[in-house]
A and B are shown apart, each in its own frame.
Chain A
Amino acid sequence: MQGSIAIRDVYKGYGAFTAIDHVSLDVNPGEFLTLLGPSGSGKTTLLNVLAGFIRPESGSIKVDGVEFLTCPPHKRDIGMVFQNYALFPHMTVAENVAYPLRLRKVGGAERARRVKATLEMVQMDHLGERGIHQLSGGQRQRVALARAMVFEPKIMLMDEPLSALDKNLREHMQLELKRLHARLGMTTIYVTHDQKEALTLSHRIAVLNKGKLAQLDTPDALYERPNNRFVAGFIGESCFFSVEEGADSVTFQGRALKLPKGTALKRSQPRVLMVRPERLQWQAPSDAGAMNRIDAIARDVVYQGDSYHVGLVLSDGSELTARHQKGFREVPVPAPGSAVQLWLHAEDTLLVAEGA
């Protein structure tokens, strides 16, 4: 049971503003869980509550059955990587990494050995004597990581650690983080607003919106079966259309929608049709019976190199952008103003709850 976290009903408010609105979730030992959401969603606040720098008004957080909230930050034995790294500029790289070991009264030789081993893990062992200001962004990030790992904490917290790096470096570091996590296996809670990053790194993702937990699931479950419009819109690209929900059927553009097996036909709350643009087909299929048809007018066609982005307008005024791949030789690129037909497989159709 090393590193399991049970968060129950945590509430934190600032006057009239609610930062965390009664959030409960469980983190499994060794799991890589990402807190994903837009700014103001409460993800960083929740991380700081876990670290002990923000005290919630109510709730409980139990780590391996022991209450965390009554414990001061310096006794929690967690490793934290800050967004701006927060490395100590008056110490060298090695001294930074040795700092937590000193605090734990680890002796000189043992300390040096562990610092070296940890720096090797992040490929920074040859820069031990450097000052912090001499390092590049990526190097600082690794030192921050090493410092948080060297005392082998049960839990790692990371607050958007890669956001300050440029795109290439970021993607490289994402893979390195994944490898490190696979190797060391400690429970990691990662905060980001970048959904692609979350999909790459996580075992599970907790999507937060305005202080509430919108959905907690594995990446593919979040992508394929979002609970509501917010999650659907936040993860991956999507377009939304209003539908008419009758007693036992759902109609779109006057035709009954062919839905995936098991979709509830009676509605309990308002729902919208969600379409992932990449699932739209340009070619009329052989078995049109299992497909939904969407009628639209092409409005603008923009060349993008590997494809065309076609802006479409439906009869009720709602808009849709579809990609026309160069590979589609049978179906020519529509001219602006022409009528277009798109096809969507029943299994790719999804009705999601309105709201979050």
Chain B
Amino acid sequence: MKHVSLSGSVTGGVSCAKDPMVSHLARAEIRERRALLSLTLPGFVLVFVVLAVPLGWLFWLSAFDSNGALTLDNYLRLLRPVYLSSFLITFQMAFCVTLVCVLLGYPLAYLLSQLPERASQICMAFVLLPFWTSILVRTYAWLVLLQRQGVINNWLLDLGLIHEPLALVNNFFGTVVGMVHVMLPFMVLPLYDKMKNIDPLLMSAAANCGATPAQAFRQVFLKLSLPGLASGITLVFVICLGFYLTPALLGGGRVSMWSMKISDTIALYGNWGAASALGVALLVATVLILWGMRKLFGLNEHGRNS
């Protein structure tokens, strides 16, 4: 078999396809790929069957009403005040929680990254223990702390600072507190990771160039830590959108988050169409926010215009 050599050509000099060796090699390569990918098959199938198919089916449902006719009704329902106010509260909550997490999380991550090994590990334990503790347990603890007859109110009453118990829970405030407690590690850990990778010599170099510590921090450290901050913000915001547990227990029914609306629509009204429309809306919002965040923060990572 004569080989037709195409040496020097950009697309490569593979000899004519009739050569049995070439096709044998190509087939062996494909076989190996397939064998390796098939290792993912059991896991893939499980996730597909348990998650992807139900979700797909559910979203398919959102386009039909209870009689099986194709309709946009389920989505039009979302424009009702009760749902719109739920959307609003969900976004307000996510925004507040994210903001507080940034304000509290950044200094914490900063100090953690600057402390010597031992001290840093001890402080990190304070962040990791909540992270590993069940959300339910933590939410319960906040209920206990913030109740009318709860620990905080009792202290304040005993100290004479107030005369009547404050309404610290079963409202927006209590929910924010509970959710910040759950979300803070999610903000701190990626930030800490990024900050740890910032070369401390850079600060020395900045000082050498004439920057005060405050200037060096603002112009060097802060800028370099922004990608970590961006991923923290994205993570926290997106998780808040779909959060169920804490608002359900600490909101007292006054904080009607999106996820709770979905749950109620099924558990109380059995209305699959409405619930699935809400679900689709939640997923779409999540994806949009993720995409939007990447656009917004993507600039910061590579561009120099900030």
| Direct touch of chains A and B (CB < 8 A) | yes
**Whole-angstrom distance from the CB of B34 to the nearest CB of chain A?**
14
Q: What are the interface flags for A33-72 relative to B under an 8 Å C-beta threshold, 1 for contact and 0 otherwise?
A: 0000000000000000000000111111000000001100
A13 with B5: CB separation less than 8 A: no
Does A16 touch B at the CB level, under 8 Å? yes
Q: What are the interface flags for A9-46 relative to B under an 8 Å C-beta threshold, 1 for contact and 0 otherwise?
A: 10101001010011000000000000000000000000
Does B10 touch A at the CB level, under 8 Å? yes
Chain B residue with the shortest CB-CB distance to A211: B7
How many residues from B make CB contacts under 8 Å with A? 18
Docked complex: B26-48 residues within 8 A CB-CB of A: 26, 28-29, 32
Chain B contacts of A69 at CB under 8 A? 21, 24-25
How many residues from A make CB contacts under 8 Å with B? 15
Does B77 touch A at the CB level, under 8 Å? no
Chain B residue with the shortest CB-CB distance to A14: B12
Bound-state CA distance A282–B3 (Å) is 54
Bound-state CA distance A139–B188 (Å) is 45
Taking a contact as CB atoms closer than 8 A, the residue among A18, A55, A70 that contacts B13 in the complex is A18
Q: Could you tell me the dominant secondary structure of chain B's interface residues?
A: loop
Chain B contacts of A11 at CB under 8 A? 12-15
Bound-state CA distance A275–B32 (Å) is 51
**Whole-angstrom distance from the CB of B18 to the nearest CB of chain A?**
12
B14 with A57: CB separation less than 8 A: yes
The tally of CB-CB contacts under 8 A between chains A and B is 44
A59 with B21: CB separation less than 8 A: yes
Chain B contacts of A56 at CB under 8 A? 25
B11 with A58: CB separation less than 8 A: no
Does B22 touch A at the CB level, under 8 Å? yes
Bound-state CA distance A198–B27 (Å) is 37
Does B73 touch A at the CB level, under 8 Å? no
Q: Give me 30 A-to-B residue pairs in the complex whose CB atoms sit less than 8 angstroms apart, sorted by A's number.
A: A9-B3, A11-B12, A11-B15, A13-B13, A13-B14, A16-B10, A16-B11, A16-B12, A18-B13, A21-B7, A22-B7, A55-B25, A55-B28, A55-B29, A55-B32, A56-B25, A57-B14, A57-B22, A57-B25, A57-B26, A58-B3, A58-B14, A58-B21, A59-B21, A60-B21, A69-B21, A69-B24, A69-B25, A70-B24, A70-B28
A13 with B12: CB separation less than 8 A: yes
